[in-house]
Amino acid sequence: VGADTRTGQTFNFGDLVCANFIQPSASPSDGNNGPFLRLADGSGWLFERETGIEVLRRLPVQDGLWEFFVDNFPTGISLRCHPFDTSPKVYPKTKYEPMQR
């Protein structure tokens, strides 16, 4: 894996990503990079630490039942596979109309 296999996709500080596999660094002495996290949508891998700097952080899971209503008239909102705007929508397609609960 090297620069020639990069996807060109970038993430900004504060973006929420979902990983489904963690690959430890190849060498225990290489504490500056890794572990590597595979993005759940299959689009690539990210470092948790790069050159010794933490670039990703695990967030605690909050279990619960959440009620929401859509407040972006007149567009509505569609459910996504992952918690970011550019992820694919879920199928079958579910769209919530403005002010729908």
Range(s) of the domain holding residue 43: 3-54
Per the DSSP assignment, residues forming a β-bridge with 36 are: 23, 47
Indicate the range of 18-22, 25-29, 88-92, 93-97 predicted with least confidence: 88-92
Are 76 and 45 members of one domain?
no
Q: Is the same domain home to 99 and 71? A: yes
Do both 8 and 50 map to the same domain?
yes
Are 12 and 48 part of one and the same domain?
yes
Per-residue pLDDT at 21 exceeds 80: yes
Same domain, 16 and 46: yes
pLDDT tens string 28-83:
666 677 788 888 888 888 888 888 888 888 888 888 887 777 777 777 777 776 66
Same domain, 45 and 71: no
pLDDT(16) > 70: yes
Residues 18 and 40 in one domain: yes
One domain, residues 67 and 47: no
pTM of the full structure: 0.55
